[in-house]
């Protein structure tokens, strides 16, 4: 089993106990990494899958009980100053990070009739501008603080598919896929790998019983993906053992037959 001892990892979008971000935090912490996670209660309460106001502080204590350090902050990635604020807070509370997991995302239904400029802009601001600028700020701080040859990791959670009612979300997640390969080439001299991770449909709290009936026949293993499935794959990509994997989009979908 690989170890993440003495690593500091940033995971965005760990707002809910059932979410992929939370599962990633737990997995990395169990491997020894110190954890800094972000959350944005305002979105999750009004448009996400149910806000849990006390969750971040409770979760921070849970992670610390695993023997690692942990810290967190609310972060609205649509704010232009947020990438620098996140990196400043990480360095102040834990130190210089070597792992960045871009899990936070804005998602609201949109089809060709309902898509409008404000909705498209909100998806872009969070899923693209904020996420990309956090990644480049992470890389600049990494180059500044880490000794030459230190392994670094940037991982983007991505998505795809033909859902006509998720135009803005699918579009902006697809834009990240287009970024991964060229960014991986630019950061390779710093020993930072850049990869995407597509977990497919994951039962993280948004899948209703009706959706389960729809999705289940598309999973040949007989079950729908869980947040822990994604967390295990991402933990490997975050480890030193994955150093030769970069510029890739990993489809970790359990053989999902959908597109």
Mean pLDDT of the 3-24 span: 95
Residue 164 lies inside a defined structural domain of this protein: yes
Contact 13, 19 (CB under 8 A): yes
Residue 66 lies inside a defined structural domain of this protein: yes
- Residue 88, domain CATH: 3.40.50.720
Q: What is the pLDDT of residues 32-79, one digit of tens each?
A: 999 999 999 776 555 444 456 788 999 999 999 999 999 999 999 999
Q: What is the dihedral of CA 23, 139, 180, 5, to 10 degrees?
A: -40
Contact 83, 131 (CB under 8 A): no
- 96: tokens are 């210089």
Q: What is the pLDDT of residues 119-138, one digit of tens each?
A: 999 999 999 999 999 999 99
Confidence at 2, pLDDT banded by 50, 70, 90:
confident
CA distance 110 to 114: 5
CA distance 132 to 118: 20
Q: Between 209 and 1, name the one with better pLDDT.
A: 209
DSSP string, 55-96: HHHHHHHHHHTTTS-EEEEE--TTSTTHHHHHHHHHHHHT--
> How distant, in Å, are the alpha carbons of 36, 149, 179 from that of 78?
19, 33, 19
Say how many domains are in the chain: 1
Residue 2 lies inside a defined structural domain of this protein: no
Q: Report the DSSP beta bridge partners of residue 35.
A: 9, 70
Can you give the pLDDT at residue 48?
A: 47
Q: State if pTM tops 0.85.
A: yes
Q: What is the pLDDT of residues 148-184, one digit of tens each?
A: 999 999 999 999 989 999 999 999 999 999 999 999 9
Burial of 1 (0-12, 13-18, 19+ CB in 10 A): exposed
Residue 126 lies inside a defined structural domain of this protein: yes
Residue 138 lies inside a defined structural domain of this protein: yes
Residue 256 lies inside a defined structural domain of this protein: no
Structural domain including 212 reads 8-251
Residue 218 lies inside a defined structural domain of this protein: yes
Active-site positions read 169
Residue 199 lies inside a defined structural domain of this protein: yes
CA distance 55 to 45: 12
């Amino acid at each position: 089993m690989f170890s993440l001892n003495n690593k500091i990892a940033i995971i965005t979008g760990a707002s809910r106990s059932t979410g992929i971000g939370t599962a990633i935090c737990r997995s990395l912490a169990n491997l020894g990494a110190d954890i800094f996670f972000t959350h944005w209660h305002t979105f999750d309460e009004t448009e996400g899958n149910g806000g849990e106001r006390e969750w971040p502080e409770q979760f921070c204590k849970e992670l610390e009980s695993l023997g690692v350090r942990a810290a967190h902050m609310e972060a609205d990635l649509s704010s232009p100053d947020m990438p620098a604020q996140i990196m400043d807070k990480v360095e102040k509370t834990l130190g210089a990070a070597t792992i960045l997991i871009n899990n936070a995302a804005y998602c609201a239904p949109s089809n060709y009739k309902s898509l409008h400029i404000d909705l498209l802009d909100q998806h872009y601001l969070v899923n693209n501008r904020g996420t990309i600028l956090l990644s480049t700020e992470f890389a600049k701080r990494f180059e500044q603080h880490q000794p030459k040859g230190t392994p670094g990791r940037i991982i983007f959670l991505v998505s795809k598919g033909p859902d006509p009612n998720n135009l803005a979300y699918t579009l902006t997640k697809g834009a990240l896929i287009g970024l991964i390969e060229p960014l991986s080439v630019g950061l390779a001299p710093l020993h930072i790998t850049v990869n995407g991770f597509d977990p497919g449909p994951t039962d993280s709290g948004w899948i209703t019983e009706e959706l389960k009936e729809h999705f289940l026949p598309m999973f040949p293993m007989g079950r729908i993906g869980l947040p822990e499935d994604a967390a295990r794959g991402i933990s490997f990509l975050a480890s030193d053992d994955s150093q030769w994997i970069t510029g890739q989009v990993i489809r970790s979908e359990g053989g999902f037959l959908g597109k």
